[in-house]
Structure 1
Amino acid sequence: MNIKNVSEKFKITTDTIRYWESEGAIPKIPRDSNGYRQFEDVDIEWVEFTNNMRKSGVSIQSIAQYLKLFKHGDNTFGERKEILKNELLQIENKLNELTQTYKQLKSLVDRYDSVMGGCEMSLKLQRKEDSYFIH
């Protein structure tokens, strides 16, 4: 598969893939006789992994370190596991923060729905600690 097909598959730019390769977040991609990248299944799996990690906020450096250790073989299991555990903890923290934000927004939307339910009254906003709430 060529770089254009891979970029379309994951909805990322070809520049992003090139950048990830240059930073070591995906392996060096083999090239054909014309110098074009030819992605094998294993390369596509690394692009998918990196894309998912980036969407979750994992740094390029962390992904590159993981790949570097991966290339060194089974004796790096512990170090790789630590990287993944640290990233998992950070994602769990983000999920907790997002859950709290979701609950707050959901509550506000529900309050708007209850106030607006069939009524033609105007809503009055009150500023409270840098947030706007229905009054």
Structure 2
Amino acid sequence: MNIKKASQITGVPASTIRYYEKEHIIPAVDRNNSGVRDFDDHAIRRISFAKKMRDAGMEISTLKQYINLFDNVENSEDEQLALLVEQKRLMEEKRDKMQDAIDHLAHKIENFDTHMLKIEDELRTMKANKKERL
């Protein structure tokens, strides 16, 4: 399939797919007789994997490191696993921080009329009083 179809299937812009190929995040893509890229299922799976990891915050350098270990280094299973475990830990940490922020906002929304407007008014008053003293 061509790059347009690969982009539609994976949700990754064609420019990003070309970048992934240039940076060896996906394997070199075969071209048909007309010179048009011809993506196979392996490339689609790799693009999808890269998208998921990037969406979750994995750095390009880490993604490249993992792909290099996976594709080119024999007996690198321990390194691959360690890298994946560390990335999972980092993602879980980010998720927990995000969940804490979501919970905080949900509390503010749920209590907006009964609590938040009162507190915000008090803070504005305190700020105005502080300015008057200066």
Normalized against structure 2, the TM-score is what?
Answer: 0.81
- Which is richer in helix? 2
Q: Which residue of 2 aligns with 1:72?
A: 72
8 A contact 2:10–2:44 mirrored in 1: no
CA distance in 1, matches of 2:3, 2:60: 19
1:1-135 matches, cutoff 5 A: 1-72=1-72, 75-112=75-112, 115=114, 123=117, 125-126=120-121, 127=123
How much does 1:73 deviate?
5.5
Identity %: 30
Task: Report the 3-state secondary structure (helix = DSSP H, G, I; strand = E; otherwise coil) of the residue aligned with 1:90.
Answer: helix
CA distance in 2, matches of 1:98, 1:21: 32
Unaligned runs of 5+ in 2: 125-134
Moved more, 4-13 or 15-24: 4-13
CA distance in 2, matches of 1:85, 1:30: 32
> What number of residue pairs does the alignment pair up?
121
Q: Which residue of 1 aligns with 2:127?
A: none
How much does 1:35 deviate?
1.5
Q: Which has the larger radius of gyration?
A: 2
How much does 1:24 deviate?
1.7
Normalized against structure 1, the TM-score is what?
Answer: 0.81
8 A contact 1:3–1:38 mirrored in 2: yes
CA distance in 1, matches of 2:27, 2:50: 11
Task: Report the 3-state secondary structure (helix = DSSP H, G, I; strand = E; otherwise coil) of the residue aligned with 2:6.
Answer: helix
Letter in 2 for 1:63: L
Q: Deviations over 1:24-77 (max 9, x none)?
A: 221111111222111111111000100000000111111111111111355111
Unaligned runs of 5+ in 1: 116-122, 129-135
How much does 1:11 deviate?
2.1
CA distance in 2, matches of 1:83, 1:37: 31
- Which is richer in strand? 1
Q: Which runs of 4+ in 1 moved over 6 A?
A: none
